[in-house]
Structure 1
Amino acid sequence: MTTSPRPLRIGNVSASRTDRSSATAEFLAAASLDVLALDMLSDEAMLDLAEQRATGGPGYERAALVQIGECLDRLGAGGAGENSAGGNRAGGVRIVTNAGALDPAGLVRDLRALAADKGVELAVAHLDPGEVTDRAAALGLGDVDVATVRHGAFGIARALAAGAVVVVTGRVSREALVAGAAAAHHGWTPSALDALAGSVAVGHVLSGGPGATGVVDSTTDVTRTTDPVTGGYPIAEIADDGCSVITRHPSAFGSVTVGTVTDQLLDGVAGARYAAPDVVLRLDSLRLAQEGTDRVRISGARGEQAPPVVAVVGMSRGGQGGADGRRPARVARPLPQDESGHTVVLPDGARVRVPVPRETAPIGPGDLPVPWSAGAVPGGEPVTATLGSVASVRRGVVGRGVNIAVWTWDDSAFAWLAGALTAERFRELIPELEGMDTRLYLLPNLRAVNLVARPPRGEVLRPGLGADLAAARLEIPGELLEVGP
């Protein structure tokens, strides 16, 4: 794959087995892309596939065969506005997908057979699934139904660089599909920390699917719609320095604003540092700006050396909640980078070891590297009103806990918010936090106050924790509500 100085144009479709067969093809027909990230895995899907495999079925998401099979004529090693000598169709699009789940090799085998039946020679590569279910107890995960290592971007980048038109992975880290495509497109090495960090931010936004366009009120792993085309799936343009513009499918519902992008960035984060397998993104460095209708620029990303560990995640049935009392429960543990290496099988069959980062550094504290000082707080006669009238609430999974982020739209509103939502106030507003370990972080660049709560060891996180926070009533300065005297 020849690197390119122009921005990578990458779209995301969070498809599921319930989507109509032509959904991905329709997305590609109306959106000029270099790469499509086809995200098909949730906690529920992983557990379903583990059960499916145990009864003799495949361990991959069979819906991927349907979705990709409908758009084979649009695939190739070129891209939006660029031709390439490799692949089977110049000017086509590449697909990177995690639909391989527990058996990427099986999905590749069946994709090749499907393509051959249609007279297409498909260049496909795959990563090993990172499954460690048989080692779960030794890794501290306990008795779980399925466990995987969340690998990063450079296996995907290696496969694309070797000419793969489709790259199949297991359940890699949430930003890896996007970051891997960007690294291949621009020729980034692991030392390009700032650029990688920018792509991690983009991957974090796109992984939320239609949440980035404000179409769904999503929480982690609840981003599916019955129609990924009209459902508002996002597109990103990623420059060679890691800066990007988030936009959307041209015929989709929804809109892309600083608010929708902020909301996605706050899903599943803790403090000022967000650790991906290949780089640590400094969330406090990001700048968001509305560049035009449905166009939000993300710039200023700073990256720090990769963390010394990656996440190994175990999932099991039997958690609280859900119609059948079988809500997925997850547990995460750290795995040293030097024990987390994996392999990629290239289109020609060559098996290549994906190196782990040569240099790592401990993740810094979650607090801001530079202390923040509040500016002027709005005045006016206090008015009792709901928190949701002046702020938005975003909830997401952080390890075995949850983050509850409250964010607002300007600096003065955040100055009030940061003083009003103390750890003690959170506990008053959410009594279910009693007995849980809680930590409060300020993220001024995103105008957010972020609470991370974890239940005691051995206890399952209560479903819906903090879901009613927006309806809580507080004394709010009248100037914020524009009803002051």
Structure 2
Amino acid sequence: MTERSFATTPEVLRIGNCSGFYGDRFSAMREMLDGGALDVLTGDYLAELTMLILGRDRMKDPELGYAKTFLRQAEECLGLAVERGVRIVVNAGGLNPAGLAGKLREVAASLDVPVRCAHVEGDDLTARTEELGLGEPLTANAYLGGWGIARCLAEGADVVVTGRVTDAALVTGPAAAHFGWARTDYDELAGAVVAGHVIECGTQATGGNFSFFTEIADLTRPGFPIAEIAGDGSSVITKHPGTGGAVTVDTVTAQLMYEVDTARYAGPDVTTRLDTVALEQHGPDRVGIRGVVGEPPPPSLKVSLNSIGGYRNEVEFVLTGLDIHAKAELAREQLEAGLVKRPREMTWTLARTDAVDADTQERASATLRCVVRDPDADVVGRSFANVAVELALASYPGCHLTSVPRSGSVYGAFAPGFVDSAAVPHRAVLADGATVDIEPIRDTRALADVAEPELPEPLPTESTRHEPLGVVAAARSGDKGGNANVGVWVRTDDEWRWLVHTLTVERLRSLLPEIADLPVTRAVLPNLRAVNFVVEGVLGDGAASQARFDPQAKALGEWLRSRRVPVPEELIP
């Protein structure tokens, strides 16, 4: 078989992304391969919720447990990738990377495409949970780093599929292999982690889910991002020419603020100091990342633990016109009185979406939502649904439901675990079937809090106006298990002097009453003119438990931006 070089330009490795989640744009793989030069194409298919979905797939069929859409993308694009000399690295193996690698070889053979396929395994700890003190979850997967990927690529693999690795490992592995980095090249590895974090969620780096989206000329079909990584770990984030969206300091900052916690971003290969990241616009759709400092990783690996939490159901009443609160109270009293057995959890939410003197019936209506959870499917199944339906002719005037409730459905529960990194096998299974054990890292350092940096002087203010926070600030939020993060940043030094003294933990709690009683921490990131908040417990047992209206906290930041605060008049656009 003819050897192909790892990169077209040895000084720079061009790594593109074609998937930010299981269900992302199917055509993105072909778009990235057709759109311009690439050396490596990555795809992130896994999330905490996805691992639960794959776990249920595996319960039905032990040969499943991987992201099936990747296999269909490969059927369409594998020949093109080989023709263009692009290596593919994806975590689509999920709970069964060996199974996916085998299926991929079958696809390659059917297409008569010569492909060397390798995989990385060892993350699945499900059979060892009792031994490791992790309880009895449905799935238990440790977050591996990039060194197994690096070894597979160094040994000539064209395609590497993995199980649960960190999202950034899809970038650090290829970069380490290409540049020959050592395990202790922490600054270089940390730079690649930041680049990987920026591109891992696909179009979120090119204008998707972006607070200032109205400033982007064309968001019809944003292009997927590319990281051009240099040997010192610095990078440039860009996208293929002619694609939609934009790459700016703000779109990159937005993704840097996604699903992070403190200024120390811990991973299995390196702890990345987010407070050292410096961004610079290098031209249209080109943002440079430099100055990233890395430290030894912590001695333990995070483990994703997914379990079946129980069963849930919900009903949503429509309340129209006058006496909304009285109507809601009547519906609640009647439903609860009609239940034979009260579910373990019962949550009511009244959304006052109604307007006074509305010109349409829909604008005159509010909704009352009841969500129930219980270990017993029968308690939240037909017996619950029937009580709600039976109120149709016996309740408040105008009573109707948005839809007829069905049988209860299973919901998942996520919990993080931690195990000593030496207790987790990390294996590279090469294209020829040989297995190579990846040594656990020896140089580790326990995580410690980062002291808050010296803050700039507050902005002198003569007059203010009550305006939405979002007239000045952008935000990005997301889920971290049962926790949520909200990152907020501004663009100018004067805005930063105002924001860092204004948006404190206490102010955040007052602006978002739903989190007022929860633990909240703040990290200050001056290089990005950003503050990041972590709200503990707001998502219950994680996204799969659907504990709140926005189960993954995707819009928590936009709610915050809509809240009014005293803004200095000189900062108001």
* TM-score, L = length of structure 1: 0.88
Distance in 2 separating the partners of 1:376 and 1:18: 45
- 8 Å CA contact retained: 2:139, 2:307: yes
Equivalent residue, structure 1, for 2:448: 364
Equivalent residue, structure 2, for 1:395: 477
Is residue 80 of structure 2 the alignment partner of residue 74 of structure 1? yes
- 8 Å CA contact retained: 2:249, 2:287: yes
Distance in 1 separating the partners of 2:502 and 2:131: 44
Task: Identify which range, 432-441 or 32-41, moves more after superposition.
Answer: 432-441
- 8 Å CA contact retained: 1:198, 1:242: yes
Q: Secondary structure at the match of 1:306?
A: coil
Gap change, CA 1:458 and 1:208, over 3 Å in 2: closer
Displacement of 1:11: 0.4
Equivalent residue, structure 2, for 1:45: 50
Q: What does the per-residue CA deviation read over 1:373-408, in whole Å, with 9 as the maximum and x for residues that have no partner?
A: 214515341010001111012112335311111111
- How many residues are paired up? 458
Equivalent residue, structure 2, for 1:192: 185
The CA RMSD measured in Å over matched residues stands at 2.7
Task: Identify which range, 381-390 or 1-10, moves more after superposition.
Answer: 1-10
Equivalent residue, structure 1, for 2:350: none
Q: What does the per-residue CA deviation read over 1:326-377, in whole Å, with 9 as the maximum and x for residues that have no partner?
A: 5654211222121123111011111000111121111221434xx3221451
Task: Identify which range, 167-176 or 323-332, moves more after superposition.
Answer: 323-332
Distance in 1 separating the partners of 2:131 and 2:108: 41
Is residue 213 of structure 2 the alignment partner of residue 122 of structure 1? no
Distance in 1 separating the partners of 2:87 and 2:220: 18
Which of 302, 310, 319 aligns to 2:293? It is 302
Q: How does 1:318-397 map to 2 (within 5 A)?
A: 318=309, 328-368=412-452, 371-375=453-457, 377=459, 379-397=461-479
- 8 Å CA contact retained: 2:276, 2:293: yes
Distance in 2 separating the partners of 1:383 and 1:457: 33
Equivalent residue, structure 2, for 1:281: 272
Gap change, CA 1:108 and 1:460, over 3 Å in 2: closer
Gap change, CA 1:415 and 1:137, over 3 Å in 2: farther
Q: What does the per-residue CA deviation read over 1:237-294, in whole Å, with 9 as the maximum and x for residues that have no partner?
A: 0000000000113232100110010111111222221111100111111110111000
Task: Identify which range, 149-158 or 20-29, moves more after superposition.
Answer: 20-29
Equivalent residue, structure 2, for 1:35: 40
Displacement of 1:442: 1.1
Displacement of 1:317: 4.8
Which of 157, 166, 169 aligns to 2:150? It is 157
Gap change, CA 1:258 and 1:217, over 3 Å in 2: closer
Q: What does the per-residue CA deviation read over 1:77-107, in whole Å, with 9 as the maximum and x for residues that have no partner?
A: xxxxxxxxxxxx5x51000011111111111
Which of 476, 480, 483 aligns to 2:571? It is 480
Equivalent residue, structure 1, for 2:69: 63
Distance in 2 separating the partners of 1:162 and 1:319: 45
Gap change, CA 1:244 and 1:326, over 3 Å in 2: farther
Q: How does 1:237-248 map to 2 (within 5 A)?
A: 237-248=228-239
Amino acid at match of 1:474: V
- 8 Å CA contact retained: 1:270, 1:366: no
Gap change, CA 1:406 and 1:378, over 3 Å in 2: farther
Q: Secondary structure at the match of 2:188?
A: helix
Give structure 2 stretches of 5+ with no counterpart.
Answer: 212-218, 315-407
- Higher Rg: 2
Q: What does the per-residue CA deviation read over 1:168-187, in whole Å, with 9 as the maximum and x for residues that have no partner?
A: 10121111101111111111
- 8 Å CA contact retained: 2:228, 2:236: yes
Distance in 1 separating the partners of 2:474 and 2:311: 26
Gap change, CA 1:21 and 1:259, over 3 Å in 2: closer
Distance in 1 separating the partners of 2:310 and 2:567: 37
Distance in 2 separating the partners of 1:460 and 1:171: 18
Equivalent residue, structure 2, for 1:436: 518
Displacement of 1:163: 0.2
Hey, which of these two has a bigger chunk of helix by percent?
Answer: 2
Which of 93, 96, 100 aligns to 2:89? It is 96
Q: Secondary structure at the match of 2:302?
A: strand
Task: Identify which range, 151-160 or 400-409, moves more after superposition.
Answer: 400-409
Gap change, CA 1:229 and 1:140, over 3 Å in 2: farther
Q: What does the per-residue CA deviation read over 1:97-121, in whole Å, with 9 as the maximum and x for residues that have no partner?
A: 1111111111111111111112122
Distance in 1 separating the partners of 2:441 and 2:128: 23
Q: Secondary structure at the match of 2:499?
A: helix
Amino acid at match of 1:240: G
Equivalent residue, structure 2, for 1:421: 503
- 8 Å CA contact retained: 2:11, 2:231: yes
Q: Secondary structure at the match of 1:71?
A: helix
